Amino acid sequence: MKVSVRYSISEIISALLLTIIVLSAIGILCIFMSNYFTERKSVLYLIYSSNAEKLKERIAIVYVHYNDTGLYLCIYNYGYVNAEIGSLYINNTLINKELITPLSLPVNKLTIVYVNVQLSEGVYYIKIISSRGNTYATFIKI
């Protein structure tokens, strides 16, 4: 009779211990996985959203004008996001950003970008790289 009672108590204790161990293991695992997924989700979202934004950025250089005061680029943003000029090249020469005004290209607007440069006669290749990494190019004959 005594032996039977001892077995019963140890069974209850072992069951309790097992439950506690399993629950705490699951709890630790859940916390760890939750943190892991939150981090991964935000990283994944960042990658996908930045790619989507790059895709949604669309600009067209509709007209390029040059006169003695400088170079004028008529740029129309027909995309879904505002764009910004990251860098501008004329015949593969990087133009200082301070010479370009404005740099921002709002959605559905025609922006006249003024570049304070002096060019001699010839054909020039103008390349714009946006801050999201898209490239737009055109030629101008002076």
Partner 1 sequence: MQHSLRYRRGQAGIATILLILVGTSIFMSLVYVTYELISYYESERQKISQLETERLEENIIIEKIGQGLGTIHLNITNVGAVPVLVRYAIVVYVEGGELKFAYDEVNVYLNIGESLYNVKLDISPPTNLKYIILVTSRGRSFIKVVETTSSRSGGKI
3-state secondary structure of 142: coil
Q: How far apart are CA 19 and CA 23, in angstroms?
A: 6
Which of 35, 39, 45, 91 is in the footprint of partner 1 by CB under 8 A?
A: 45
Restricted to residues 105-124, the positions that interact with partner 1 (CB under 8 A) are 108, 110, 112, 119, 121, 123
Cα within 13 Å of Cα(135), Cβ side: 7
Print burial letters for 6-27: b (CB count within 10 Å at least 16), e (below 16): eeeeeeeeeeeeeeeeeeeeee
Which DSSP symbol is given to 95?
Answer: P
Which of 29, 94, 99, 137 is in the footprint of partner 1 by CB under 8 A?
A: 29
Restricted to residues 9-28, the positions that interact with partner 1 (CB under 8 A) are 11, 14-15, 18-19, 22, 26
132 phi and psi angles, rounded to 5 deg: -90, -5
Output 7 or 96, the one with its CB closest to partner 1.
7
Applying CB under 8 A, does 55 fall inside the site for partner 1?
A: yes
Q: Which residues bind partner 1 (CB under 8 A)?
A: 7, 11, 14-15, 18-19, 22, 26, 29-30, 33, 37, 40-41, 44-45, 48, 51-52, 55-56, 58-68, 72, 74, 76-78, 80, 108, 110, 112, 119, 121, 123, 138-142
